[in-house]
Structure 1
Amino acid sequence: MTREEAEIALEEAGRADDDAFPLLDAAIACALHDYPFRDPTHARILADNAAERLAERVGGESPDDALAETMAADLRLNGDLLHYDDPANTDILDVAERRRGLSAALAVFYLDAARRAGVKAQGVDFPNHFLLRVETPAGPVALDPFSQGRVVMPSELTRRALRAGLTPHVADRLDVLMAPVSDREALIRLQNVLFNRAIRAEDYLCAERSAVRRALLDPEDHRPWLDVAAAREKQGALTGALEALRRARAVAGQDDQMHQIVADRLRMRLN
């Protein structure tokens, strides 16, 4: 798949309704948009195996145990503690090969398997660490894909939330801490991780690509185009930055004064 073909696939995913969002296909397209012409077969085989094994386990185990045992024990998917900042930890194709990755990347395989096996699971956009919410007969539980899919107890959720800077009033509210997000938002979270890492590394081309992917995945959000504009400006691509600002204003559907100020500044640099 070329980068252009990946963008077409992401545009199609962006037009899909949330309940029909093609998470695995979109995640693979994101990886190929970054580094094209790779073979995604291994990732698809891993996803197929995960769905089949989970379906076999579901009848005899609780949903959370079945999901954790399938993904972490059977398929050996786990977090990468030794090389946390390795770019491969955010790339779905590399994660499938290495069986290691960040929580937001591992969650793609967890969520895809859960959908196909009839387990009700959703992402949780927890501060600083992506989690999963799995519905069980005893109520919802939080799983951590980075830590072998183990259950995160409510008291630990509160401690994590406090360490992340949430106020005690918010950190005590499990309904807030475990609020589910859509598969689309889960994949966008992964692209946000990539964007922030690229900005810190001053890799503005990589930052631009990750922001473009966010824009394509959620065409109703104007903010990714602002990030595209910022990344292009850092590269000196001022005409491209102006085009990104134009798209941001078109999506926002309003005459945003701040957008206009930035656009005027860029035009002055072009003259």
Structure 2
Amino acid sequence: MTREEAEHFLADAGRLADEAFPLFAAALACAVHDDPERDVDQAQVVADEGAVRLAARLERESPEEAIAEAMAGDLRLQGDLFTYDHLDNADVIAVAQRRRGIPVSLGVFYLHAARRCDLDVRGVDFPGHFLLRIESLEGPLALDPFSEGRVVLPSELSRRALRTGLTPDVAGRLDLLMTPVSDRAVLIRLQNNIFARAQAAGDYARAERSALRRALLDPLDHRPWLDVAAAREGQGALAGALEALGRAQQLDGGAAIAARAARERVRLRLN
């Protein structure tokens, strides 16, 4: 798959309804778009093996035990504690090779296996740390893919929420903290991680690519185009930055003031 083919795939995926969104295939396309000089076969093999291992374990273990043992035990997928901010941790091809990643990239493998085995597992956009929600006989449970898929107790969820700055009344609302999100939102969160890391490292070309992928995955959202513009400006591509800001204005009138101000600032630099 070439970078152009990956863009076409992501654009097609972006037009699908949430229930039809192809999470793992789209995640692979994102990785190819970032660096097309790689083979996707190993990542696909790892993902498919996870589904096979999970199916076998479900015959003798509870869903929450089976998915943790299949992914963290059998596949050895784990959180990268030592080089957490390394960009490879947010790339599913690299994660499959290294067997290490950040919570949301690891979560993509968990969710793929769960979908194949008809388990009710969904992503949770928990503040500061992506989690998974699995439905069990005792009700919904939180799983942490970064910590070998272990169950996170409600009291710990509240403590984590407090550490992110949420107020005690909100941190105690597990119904809010455990609200599931779509697979599309999971992949967009992964691209946000890449954008933040690349932007901080001054890798504006990579930041632009990640922001463009977000724009393709959610074509009605104006915000990715603001990030595309910022990344292009960082590369000195001012005409391209203006074009991206224009797209943001077209998509959302609420962005018009901020985008217009940014456009004017960039336009003045062109003179």
Same fold (TM over 0.5): yes
What residue is the counterpart of 1:245 in the other structure? 245
What residue is the counterpart of 1:97 in the other structure? 97
What residue is the counterpart of 1:151 in the other structure? 151
CA distance, structure 1, for counterparts of residue 45 and residue 259 of structure 2:
45
CA distance, structure 2, for counterparts of residue 172 and residue 209 of structure 1:
38
Contact 2:79–2:100 (CA<8 Å) still a contact in 1? yes
User: Secondary structure of 2:140's partner?
Assistant: strand
Question: Any gaps of 5 or more consecutive residues in structure 1?
Answer: none
What residue is the counterpart of 2:162 in the other structure? 162
CA distance, structure 1, for counterparts of residue 8 and residue 174 of structure 2:
39
User: Secondary structure of 1:151's partner?
Assistant: strand
Question: Any gaps of 5 or more consecutive residues in structure 2?
Answer: none
What residue is the counterpart of 2:258 in the other structure? 258
CA distance, structure 2, for counterparts of residue 94 and residue 171 of structure 1:
34
| One-letter amino acid of the counterpart of residue 44, structure 1 | Q
CA distance, structure 2, for counterparts of residue 46 and residue 264 of structure 1:
48
- Taking structure 2 as the reference length, the TM-score comes to 0.97
Deviation at 1:195, TM superposition (A): 0.8
What residue is the counterpart of 2:140 in the other structure? 140
Deviation at 1:115, TM superposition (A): 0.5
What residue is the counterpart of 2:44 in the other structure? 44
Q: Percent identity?
A: 63
Aligned residue runs from structure 1 range 1-271, under 5 A: 1-252=1-252, 256-271=256-271
Aligned residues: 271
User: Secondary structure of 2:193's partner?
Assistant: helix
Deviation at 1:257, TM superposition (A): 2.3
Deviation at 1:253, TM superposition (A): 5.3
CA distance, structure 1, for counterparts of residue 266 and residue 74 of structure 2:
53
CA distance, structure 1, for counterparts of residue 122 and residue 160 of structure 2:
19
Question: Aligned pair in 2 of structure 1 residues 70, 3: CA closer, same or farther (>3 Å)?
Answer: same
Deviation at 1:177, TM superposition (A): 0.8
| One-letter amino acid of the counterpart of residue 30, structure 1 | C
**CA deviation vs aligned residue, 1:219-271 (integer Å, no higher than 9, x gap):** 11110000101111121111000110111122225682222222122222212
- Taking structure 1 as the reference length, the TM-score comes to 0.97
CA distance, structure 2, for counterparts of residue 181 and residue 200 of structure 1:
27
Question: Aligned pair in 2 of structure 1 residues 242, 99: CA closer, same or farther (>3 Å)?
Answer: same
CA distance, structure 2, for counterparts of residue 245 and residue 255 of structure 1:
9
